[in-house]
Structure 1
């Protein structure tokens, strides 16, 4: 694999921006992921560390990137696994140091076993090391040990780093604002994921198993060279009231709703969509009543994702509409303001209304600055996912509502012109859902 010219430019732009932000007297160290053992001598499918992927595009495990602003020998240095004929026969090709330079744009590259000798040279004369301690505990002693050594040497006149800075304080704020290239990937991931949800709506019916629906969704991802961005949730009936239900192994029953929370990942960027629909194709009275409340909250919250608005506004808006709906349905009693103040709604709505979305399904970036919710900026992407969950046997609730779990989730890009819904390719209005299912 080789980076395309466009991808190479994008990664280079990101590295230059990070180096500009950390300053010319600093150095940044970014490790790649390791392979994770699944069972004995087999491994899970490799997924690159998001920070490392964001800056390098290098697809192999164990590598370490070092960014050294202004270095004469080159600012972008990679430490990678060496070429190994036997390993490559069994496990696949390696780029090696030569490929890291020729194919991935490194200014200089070394074998990993040269880290102990070459990293001190890169850190010497730098004041700050931008590195996230604790995330890669096996690497921490090596880096801190090198810094201690350089500090000892510095007593004889050479400069050495005096400060460790958590890399994410800078890098994750960069990742929060998506570039055109990132937005294009997110849009395609959303479009494919929406198509997968539509197919799931049309194949789900009484007697089909949850895992069969999940297989249909994931097959659509694989057709586009994508993989699930997270463990898919396919919960029929009471299972929809379990927020992170992933057993996905029960038969679908006539009269139940099916909640699907699934998104595909494309080149590291994931969609995140939830839809809830009737297994038999028609909402009953109680299901429709609850669904319309959640849908109203979803649509109203989306409208609040505007440049300059508070990041807390979508949740505040959704909570008010959901609470009013619960009162109207007779599931809560009292005045809406008091019920919100007392958080009485939380017995039916116990999670937040959205999260950042990007390379991670729960993407990086702070929600608050200085203790207060930050303001939306163009290029941010957030999910909007209100829900109501009425567990079986809930005291004081009419049995017609028992086991109804509904969540409606969309991915929304903040733009100067207003919120742009990326996941509109899958219906969410009652009539549109019933029509799609009927057309199957």
Structure 2
């Protein structure tokens, strides 16, 4: 029997007054809904704690749900088990006077509590349901934000400084390369002049004379070739000198370049940490609604359906209580309560009458005692007066002289 009445105890009703099959089914259903709601509240509270901790999955998240579930279940049991007994006209047999009218305050408070739980608990459960889609959307949003931060802010300023340093390195390299290029062109011209001198010495050149006598065209070409080679050598030396002169500045720019790269990496790490930290409850809720707006039939319909189902589960026990007002169980409870109240009221009235009679008897006895005390006081007063008179007479007689 205890096992059969377990759900009735959960629903906070007296099994002795659940007389009909319909009432038994009703209150067992309420007990089942209360137990289901207990599990829902535990899981929902754990999900809320997990979302509040930015999904770090703290071990104590499962310790928050049971007290919350116990508090709400206690509220539901108070609402379900409450019978609004009418204690007026206790001697009347009219069945319409057994129960009072329903009060809206108790049920309104439970509905407000259900809406609050729907927002606080149902939302984390739905976010956990769509975790994969939300993570993918947040990844896209974070990448866009990181790209925007790369193109503006501190990283862009550091990059402009690096570009300036690279431009200075390129300018220095270009100056040295120009000198080497000029030296190479002079060597090419010297080689060309020397080849012409060789052809002229073979009588295949401009002068058509063999040999290379001093002062001739061939000799002039040789001298020109030597002069160009000497100029090329001087230019290479000048390029080396310029390169050595540029070395301190290059080292300084290399140091600045390394420092700027470190600052850029640090800023990128900071930006990534800042951007990826925007993945908590608020950001995930915004992402969820963005997905709902983009694809209502893919996300929104199922989201709203499950949310409505959980809200109905939250309110089911109180709703069944609300629509079953005045059932057989409540009338039986009301009759027992009115019978006990009438019995207590009559007992109280009898006690009042007994107390009143005892008070009257005590008052009468007190009046008798007072009257007797007054008679006694009067008798004592008279006796005292007579005794004093006799003593005075005796004294007077003793003092009168005998003739």
Task: Sort the TM-score into its range (normalised by shorter chain).
Answer: under 0.3
Higher RCO (CA < 8 A, seq sep 6+): 2
Which protein is richer in helix relative to its size? 2
Normalized against structure 2, the TM-score is what? Answer: 0.19
Which protein is richer in strand relative to its size? 1
Structure showing greater radius of gyration is 2
